[in-house]
Structure 1
């Protein structure tokens, strides 16, 4: 089982659903809501409201996971190949440093950056200082604002090694797709902008350790799937 932590003080529900859609075409996938904000409560339609695990499209979602004991029980019961954790809960952040892979999603909005700094401080607090955490940062960027060097300086005191940087720009098509998907029983990826799709493909390639050609074929399958 591979555990993927995607940390960041942004609403990433659409990104997480798209990634789970892609990965679940070939694997059994669990999406874990460790945001502390009930991010997924209204992000997709549900058949049953009071279950611990909700099935959406071809993957499972565990909402409002606030303790490691709950998480460990859920993954033990589910025999998952991949677990994608949407991490935004500062009080819970220190428990995830032993996961297999890490992404940090951010924008250059100052409240987002400052909260991400607090998240990453909590996230790395359990380390003994002998190793760096390799993190891929995913930036929702607006032209003419800050540069990546600002993030380098802001996070420089922390035991983080920036593995890669992926950038996309806000697009009305992505906002519209997000809203449409909130009322659908399956995740539709056809309306996503090219830049956002490129970033999602690169994240999926990294998570599943596949090449661009295979990721492109996977995207085509996801577009056709119901």
Structure 2
């Protein structure tokens, strides 16, 4: 039976071989446009967000331009992303706060980001990691699922999974690993139709319950 340390090394080796230079999936120009894109990605695919944001950023790609739009205008543009009433209000309000409290800039600070409307813990960490190089380990439902399948966390909740990931994996790999695990899940370890015996990682380190 493999030790946890051995499992971690297998994950690191396989993911680095498959995705040596993982790219950020959401199109953005700067921290502000990335913040908006990540906010829009809640319960929406990255592909759909990337289809919608060009039209939004053509109208407003800075907070001072965003607050010149009506919330209803923002809502109409982002409607394909889902949850448009809530997201449009959050985008307008956070743009106003950035101007009033942060000089129109996205602050490289977790607590400050989490205080912005519509910005949760995961979104804040993604923005910090992918714009400012701050080591974080954002855990979404997909990462949560894979880490559980690999027997590296008990699957209790995403908060516990994040703590386990930060404890098990070297900090210098956190930011890349977040993306690598997401890409691996999409291509090799999906939520539905998963064949653990054929999966490059589950076949080697998957918990026994996957094979019952």
TM band (smaller chain): under 0.3
TM-score, normalization by structure 2: 0.27
The structure whose residues are more often helix, as a share, is 2
TM-score, normalization by structure 1: 0.26
Q: Higher relative contact order by CA 8 Å / sep ≥ 6: 1 or 2?
A: 1
